[in-house]
Amino acid sequence: MKRSKLFNRNTLVAAMLVGVISIGGIMAYFTDTDSETNTFTVGKVTIDQDEPNYPGNDTDKTTNITPNEVIPKDPTITNTGINDAFVFMTVTVPCADVVTANQEGVKEAKGVKDLFSYTVNSGWVQVGNKLDVKSGGYTVAHRYLYAWGDASKCTALTAGSKTKALFDNVTMINLIEGQTYPDGSPIETSTNNILIQSYAIQTEDLNGHDGNAKTAPADVWAIIDNQREVNGDFNADTSVDASAIGY
């Protein structure tokens, strides 16, 4: 009987030791960890507008001008940013309800006409229609929109690149003397401004991916107009207040 009790006691101790080893085995798994940080650098779209051959305001070439005089004026856009960009220019030209003469000196019918004309260079395309710019209830200017590209697709202006000039010069119309603005002030001694504004937007992921992004000039401009509220719906027969575009 005594041997039997001793055997049972040893068995119990052995069982307890096995239990301790089993618990230690549950807590001692091999483990490891790793991580990876994805770094993204944000791009930037910036542009500079320049007119390298424009003589400047208040110079002999831009004061006391006469009908048919040609003034050097060659607006360009340079992509000074990091990303490629689609670029646009708006040109706001003063106008008046006037009588002009053709190249032979024959009078032409009176009408609202731009006081300056220009020829758009290749590589640029007009988008939509001109906008009437209003002030005091009168049309004082016309605003035009141009895209760097063609009628179907904008051309990407790569970082560090420069467009051709939109035009090379402007020419005053053949205005007959003695005419006035609606307020009675004379046109002949007036100061007139041609306002040129440039815009740029990224070329990738414009409302779509995998070939569905916007590239047509009218579509891309609509995105710029919606985002920046530049008062430029050139696809409708509308007008804009002069103060709204800084004219």
The yes-or-no verdict on residue 240 having pLDDT over 70 is yes
Q: Do the beta carbons of residue 77 and residue 148 sit within 8 Å?
A: yes
Over range 173-202, report the average pLDDT. 93
**Tokens 């791009």, residue located:** 43
What is the per-residue pLDDT for 230?
Answer: 67
Which among 225, 224, 80, 215 has a CA at the least distance from the CA of 155?
A: 215
Within 10 angstroms of residue 34's Cβ, the number of other Cβ atoms is: 4
The yes-or-no verdict on residue 11 having pLDDT over 50 is no
What is the per-residue pLDDT for 176?
Answer: 94
Q: What is the pTM of this model?
A: 0.83
Q: Do the beta carbons of residue 188 and residue 85 sit within 8 Å?
A: no
Over range 173-178, report the average pLDDT. 94
Q: What is the phi/psi pair of residue 215, to 5°? A: -135, -20
Q: Do the beta carbons of residue 242 and residue 134 sit within 8 Å?
A: yes
What is the per-residue pLDDT for 41?
Answer: 60
Over range 131-155, report the average pLDDT. 95
What is the per-residue pLDDT for 2?
Answer: 41
The yes-or-no verdict on residue 45 having pLDDT over 60 is yes
Please state, rounded to an integer, the average pLDDT across all residues of the chain: 84
Q: Do the beta carbons of residue 104 and residue 91 sit within 8 Å?
A: no
Question: Would you place residue 233 in the very low, low, confident or very high pLDDT band (cuts 50, 70, 90)?
Answer: confident
